[in-house]
Structure 1
């Protein structure tokens, strides 16, 4: 394959590539998950220990030391603030982990660009699958804590995959864009970490949306994390069904961003070999 040749950017080529390389995607995602803990004593068990330790720290600091309460009516247990906040942290973590790594994906796999025939477009998807695995483990820990503290789990938690799917699609689309830009503009890798950190504080992660002044609230709602975080809490913590119409609209925008990201990646990849 000529690395300088133009690549198809159609939706059919994307679907075909993902289906044709499904085994490779699965194997490389598994290798990335295992590789994170390679050489450690506890190995993959760290994927459970890490969110458990974080949740314990958040519960102590915010519920015992700061005595923080979420902006909802009624009595709240000491652990509720930490659990509600943890939902936002998990969703932001999924988003930030993929985007922070995206600018260096092609550069760290330069041998795939120059020497072998490799479907470069699957690299962001592999990163997304690894991040989804760790987010799923964190969600299991969260649900276990919710069950321990409250004695039940809302059946609406079954809707969670439908809530997460749109932001996963949006994230991989942005990752395609950043993976390409990171090859040509090295500053992207330094900038995106700041952007994702700012996005965390401009989303209702550590505060309820009701605490934001009305004049500022539209800007917070424009953050792509806000809607998904609110919907995640709705199905996990409050026991409500998701906003189906809102999820439909969000999904349409996410699909459009994903296709634009893939289109950009395919149209610019012929220049990767020259830069690397």
Structure 2
């Protein structure tokens, strides 16, 4: 592990410049530039809010705001956007950078780190936009919002660990790239992002809590909407699972690094 960290530190300027170039390349010919990073998810939130708020707003106890459902939805989408986009980015990360991996000698682990940096910048911009919308709607999160950066890093670590593992497998099994978007779409509706778990029949609520993403999205909603602390007890188990998953992803990545270049 120490050798991996030393390698990444040695290539820190390469990583930082790659993140900068990646962000710049995505919006070079766009007049709105980086605003597109927040327009898309906010537009999705607006659509869901307009369609579903009248149905679900009455089922959000503890939120004294007529835009309660929109607030709840934005908190959930802040989590989901980071998680899903990171998974999708990592899924094709090595395939998209095949030429770079063949032509340049650098630690291949730089690629996931660059992707993580890009996703983090995107999420910070979205977070700033959401806080601006919160202010316009008259909602100001309390001191529990200080835990949001911790939750963001937990989400990014989980998504990067899983995404890197899937990205390595996808190099050798390209069908995985078609399956994962379908799985993510199903997982979105199995996670209480656009609905409150209390709106479901009591006999089903316990089953939804087995979803490992439940504790993360609920913690986002607690600190941003309800003024409550994260679900630390359950998050501890998720952190342990993330560490184990990261270890598996790192081992598979290092063992498959040479074969990936040949497969690409």
Name 1:17's counterpart in structure 2. 7
Gaps of 5+ in 2: none
Q: Deviations over 1:223-247 (max 9, x none)?
A: 2321111001111111112233333
Asked if the contact 1:159–1:235 (Cα under 8 Å) also holds between the matched residues in 2, the reply is yes
Following TM superposition, the consecutive aligned residue runs of length 4 or more in structure 1 with deviations greater than 6 angstroms are none
Aligned to 1:34, which of 24, 27, 30?
24
Q: Evaluate the alpha carbon distance shift between residue 267 and residue 218 of structure 1 in structure 2; reply closer, same or farther with a 3 A threshold.
A: farther
Q: Evaluate the alpha carbon distance shift between residue 182 and residue 75 of structure 1 in structure 2; reply closer, same or farther with a 3 A threshold.
A: closer
Q: Evaluate the alpha carbon distance shift between residue 104 and residue 56 of structure 1 in structure 2; reply closer, same or farther with a 3 A threshold.
A: closer
Distance in 2, Cα, partners of 1:104 & 1:74: 41
The structure with more helix, counted as a fraction of residues: 2
Shift of 1:112: 2.7
| Map 1:194-233 → 2, pairs under 5 A | 194-233=182-221
Shift of 1:54: 4.1
TM-score where L is the length of structure 1? 0.86
Distance in 2, Cα, partners of 1:219 & 1:26: 42
Name 2:34's counterpart in structure 1. 44
Moved more, 116-125 or 206-215: 206-215
Distance in 1, Cα, partners of 2:63 & 2:157: 37
Q: Evaluate the alpha carbon distance shift between residue 29 and residue 206 of structure 1 in structure 2; reply closer, same or farther with a 3 A threshold.
A: same
Aligned to 2:73, which of 82, 85, 96?
85
Q: Evaluate the alpha carbon distance shift between residue 151 and residue 165 of structure 1 in structure 2; reply closer, same or farther with a 3 A threshold.
A: closer
Distance in 1, Cα, partners of 2:8 & 2:58: 42
Q: Deviations over 1:138-169 (max 9, x none)?
A: 22222222222225331221110112222211
Distance in 2, Cα, partners of 1:68 & 1:78: 12
Distance in 1, Cα, partners of 2:163 & 2:101: 17
SS at match of 1:68: helix
- Tell me: higher relative CO, structure 1 or 2? Use CA pairs within 8 A at least 6 residues apart: 1
Asked if the contact 2:191–2:208 (Cα under 8 Å) also holds between the matched residues in 1, the reply is yes
Name 2:154's counterpart in structure 1. 166
Shift of 1:75: 6.9
The number of residue pairs the alignment matches comes to 264
Name 1:71's counterpart in structure 2. 59
Asked if the contact 1:163–1:247 (Cα under 8 Å) also holds between the matched residues in 2, the reply is no
Within the alignment, does 1:177 sit opposite 2:171 as a pair? Answer: no
Name 2:254's counterpart in structure 1. 266
Gaps of 5+ in 1: 1-10
SS at match of 1:106: helix
Q: Evaluate the alpha carbon distance shift between residue 182 and residue 70 of structure 1 in structure 2; reply closer, same or farther with a 3 A threshold.
A: farther
Moved more, 66-75 or 141-150: 66-75
